[in-house]
Amino acid sequence: MREPVNRTILLFDIERFSRRDDVVQVVLRRTLNKIADQTLEAAGVEATQQYREDRGDGLIVLISGDVAKTALLRSLLSTLPDLLHEHNLLASDSAQMRVRTVLAAGEVAHDAHAGTIGGLVGHDLNQACRLLDADVLRSALTRRQDEHCVLAVSALVYEGVVRHGHRGVRPEHFRPADVVVKDGVLPAWIHQGATADQASAPTTPPAARSAPDTTPAATPAPAAQERPAGAVFHFHGAPVVHGSFVSGDQHGVSGGQVTGDVVLGGTRTERDAGSRGGTADGGRS
C-alpha cells in the first residue's frame, strides 16, 4: 500500500439515479463525466492533477493539493450549475439531472491491485462519502426544485478557505449542518444556492415593522372625534348679538336647521337669529 497523501476530495452523486432505466442511466453517466470535465477545466485542473473513479451514479475525484480550492469552489458555484441548466433545458423529463456535490480534503492512500479498479483508502474520504449520502444534503436538494445542484463542504474546507471570503466565495452563503454518522456527528457547511441572496439580505427588525390595522373598515369613528366640515355663515354688516360684536366668517355645521338657543362667544341668543341682523341658514346668504 502506498503512503497516504493529502488530496482535495470532490464527490458527485446523481439524484434518483436508480429510478431510471438502463438506457437513461448510461446517458446520465456520460453527461456527468462530461460536465465534470468542463467544471474541472474551468478551475484550471489538468488531467495529470486528478484521479477519478466512476461509481455508477456518481464520481470520486481526487485532486492534487497544488490546485487552489478557491478556484474549485468558484467553478462549483458557477460553472457546474450553468452546465446542468443547459443539459436540463434540452433533456427529456426522464433524463433530467440534478446533482449533490461535496468538496472536502484529507489524507488518502491508493491501495491498487492488478486487474482491479479502485483501492482508495482513508478516513477523510469515508467521512466525505458519508456527507454526500447524508439526509440533510438530500433534503436540501429536494427543497430546491428550481435548482440543479447543491454543494456541501467539510469543516476543514470551510475553516481553511470559505470563511476567509476569497473572490467569488461568500461565507455568508453557507449554513452549518450537523451530519449524524456511525461514529458521531460530522460538521459540514451547505451552500444556500439561489436563496443565498435572500438569506443574507438584512431584514427589518420586528419593532420597526408596521403593526397591522385591526380596526374594521366599516366602523366609523365616533362623531365626537370628527372635525366639523367647517361651513361658513355669512353675515351682512357687523351683527351684534346681545352686545357681543361678531366680525368675519363664522363656522358651524353645514346642511342642518339651527334650533334652540345659539351661543356665540359665551353669549346666549334667541332662536330667531335672523332678527339680529344676520342669517344662519346653512351657509346661504
Instruction: List, for residues 18-36, the tens digit of each pLDDT value.
Output: 999 999 999 999 999 999 9
Using CB atoms within 10 Å of the CB of residue 231, give its burial: 0 to 12 exposed, 13 to 18 middle, 19+ buried: middle
pLDDT bin (cut points 50, 70, 90) of residue 196 is low
Provide the 3-class DSSP secondary structure of residue 106: strand
The CATH number of 5-195 is which of 2.60.120.10, 3.30.390.30, 1.20.1440.230, 3.30.70.1230? 3.30.70.1230
pLDDT of residue 280: 43
Domain with CATH 3.30.70.1230 in the chain: 5-195
Q: What is the pLDDT of residues 37-89, one digit of tens each?
A: 999 999 999 999 999 999 889 999 999 999 999 999 999 999 999 999 999 99
**Would you say residue 254 has pLDDT above 50?**
no
Q: Is the pLDDT of residue 125 over 80?
A: yes
- pLDDT score for 238: 52
Mean model confidence pLDDT for the chain:
79
* CA 81-85-88 angle, 5° bins: 140
CA–CA distance, 185 with 201 (Å, rounded to integer): 30
Encode 68-104 in three state secondary structure.
CHHHHHHHHHCHHHHHHHHHHHHCCHHHCCCEEEEEE
In angstroms and rounded to an integer, the radius of gyration of the C-alpha atoms of the chain is 39
For residue 243, which amino acid is it? G
Count CB-CB contacts under 10 A for residue 187: 14
